[in-house]
Amino acid sequence: MSMEAGLPVERPKPGIIHLGLGAFFRAHGAAYVARAMEVSGGDWGIIGVSLQSPGTRDALAPQGFAYTAVEQGPEGETPRRLTVLQDVLVAPEDPQAVLEAMADPGIRIVSLTVTEKGYCHNPATGALNPDHPDIRHDLSHALPRSAPGYLVRALQLRRNRGLAPFTAMTCDNLPQNGRVLRGVVLELARRIDPDLADWIGALGRFPSTMVDRIVPATKPEDIARLAAMGITDAAPVMHEPFGQWVIEDDFVSGERPDLAAAGAELVTDVTAYEHMKLRMLNGTHSTLAYLGYLAGHETIADCAADPVFAAFVKALWRREIIPALTPPPGVDLTDYADQLFARYSNPAIRHRTWQIAMDGSQKLPQRILSTWAENHAVGRQSPGLTLAIAGWMHYISGKGVDGQPIDVRDPMAAELAARAPDGPAALLALPAIFPESVAKDLAAPVTAAHARLATHGVRASLEDLT
């Protein structure tokens, strides 16, 4: 199974551009698109765009942009060679080339996995942050830096050339992600050209989606292990067997790959699915990331193997998260929780708590705070979620409860580190994370939980709750 440069591969013409070509999309969305073409044909090749660095392009180019997706199950690994990727552009090197690619009439979908912070929005409200440095740049320059900026300027090119807009499809973990994307794009467009905003609003489409697959970071030993199997690949991706993609079937002129044939679910409203996944999976992932890291656990599988953490996360689903959810049609949330725990327990998936803990300021509102607020509004106690928030507060201080330093990666890291020594009250005063009403109601319980973690440690605090 060689992947050397020069291997002849018959490939479809590009129909999709993907902004933010990380491991997740290559292991999830690209795999679905490849399968859809295998079953139903069509020209839906993908051009990837790196908005930051050339690393992915430089690794993939010598192998013709083909790569290996490795399914890691409890009983072994199954590699699959994907050739759906046609090219990778590096935006900072040539922004105009990216815009021209997005303005090509053959491109009908622009998808995104740029992480929560890539939307340049206020996480607490979902609105565009006009003071974001990249947005300030994009308002005064024709060549953009931000993902919303690329969408707006590319749509402007298409309008000027008499072309239809593309469908902009976000695949990031945001509540009502399509509506958030539509909002930031329209607001940015309105500040640049109100007529452009009206055109996008009338003709553009921004379907919401729910994506689910655990994709740990690829490690050097993964590459070496594949090489020992005879697979030469500088940029493989690892993923769990499970995969889910729920998509609102709302595309410009109805043009899209036959994603249903690849196993995706096409629906009219994704809200119930995204709430289920954001709160039950992402919410507990973040909870285990902060508390697990503080307790010395390297991975989610390590947390699941710890009886104290296992009892805690199961109680969290049962008592605090499931009661706040309306299940999607035909879904039993208790069964879904059992499936999640089985996935967390997969020893082949080494999903690091430190990796999941990144960018918590952008994740906390939709993953944890929204559930906490809904529970509080109906008088339902949320001690586990409160402890998770307190764990985040300890984590972002840069020092664990044991005094050991923590390498915090967050777009607000400097401000968080400056406020953390003054305790929870100083962090709750950040409106970009905590809405005022939530901050007020959360103050007393999270201050107590924060103190309990400091004095009793993580494990004893969890045992107190379960």
- The DSSP string of 280-300 is IIIHHHHHHHHHHHHTT--BH
Q: How far apart are alpha carbons 356 and 216 in whole angstroms?
A: 9
Q: Is the pLDDT of residue 188 over 80?
A: yes
Q: How many CA atoms lie within 13 A of 75 on its CB side?
A: 0
pLDDT at 428: 98
What single-letter DSSP state applies at residue 205? Answer: B
Instruction: Supply angle C-alpha 433, 25, 96, rounded to 5.
Output: 85
Q: If you write DSSP's letter for every residue of 124-188 in order, what string do you get?
A: TT--B-TTSHHHHHHHH-SS--SHHHHHHHHHHHHHHTTPPPPEEEE-SS-TTHHHHHHHHHHHH
Q: What angle, rounded to 10 degrees, do the helices at 147-160 and 95-102 form? A: 60
* Listed residue (128, 1, 111) closest to 45, CA to CA: 111
Q: How far apart are alpha carbons 393 and 246 in whole angstroms?
A: 33
* Arithmetic mean of pLDDT, 147-170: 98
109-112 and 14-19: which strand pairing? Answer: parallel
Calculate the alpha carbon distances from 36 to 161, 243, 261 in Å. 30, 14, 6
Delimiting residues of CATH 3.40.50.720 domain(s) in the chain:
14-269
pLDDT interval class at 10 (50, 70, 90): low
Q: What is the pLDDT of residues 384-441, one digit of tens each?
A: 999 999 999 999 999 988 889 999 999 999 999 999 999 999 999 999 999 999 999 9
Q: Is the pLDDT of residue 1 over 50?
A: no
Q: What is the pLDDT of residues 280-298, one digit of tens each?
A: 999 999 999 999 999 999 9
Place of tokens 């509004």: 377
pLDDT over 90, % of the chain: 94
Q: What is the pLDDT of residues 318-338, one digit of tens each?
A: 999 999 999 999 999 999 999
pLDDT at 8: 41
Q: What is the pLDDT of residues 349-371, one digit of tens each?
A: 989 999 999 999 999 999 999 99
Neighbour-count burial for 311-343, b at 16+ CB within 10 Å, e otherwise: ebbbebbebbbbebbebbeeeebeebbeebeeb
Q: Is the pLDDT of residue 61 over 60?
A: yes
Q: How far apart are alpha carbons 292 and 338 in whole angstroms?
A: 20
* Arithmetic mean of pLDDT, 2-11: 46
Strands (E), 63-112: 67-73, 76-82, 85-90, 109-112
Q: Which residues pair with 209 in a beta bridge?
A: 247
pTM for the structure as a whole: 0.90
Report the CATH superfamily, name and number, of domain 14-269.
NAD(P)-binding Rossmann-like Domain (3.40.50.720)
Instruction: Supply angle C-alpha 138, 165, 156, rounded to 5.
Output: 35
Neighbour-count burial for 363-400, b at 16+ CB within 10 Å, e otherwise: bbbbbbbbbbbbbbeeeeebbbbbbbbbbbbbbbbebb
* Listed residue (267, 374, 251, 385) closest to 328, CA to CA: 267
Delimiting residues of CATH 1.10.1040.10 domain(s) in the chain:
272-465
Q: What is the mean pLDDT of the chain?
A: 95
Q: Is the pLDDT of residue 11 over 90?
A: no
**Which amino acid, one-letter code, is at 297?**
H
Please check whether the domain covering 272-465 is classified as CATH 1.10.1040.10.
Answer: yes
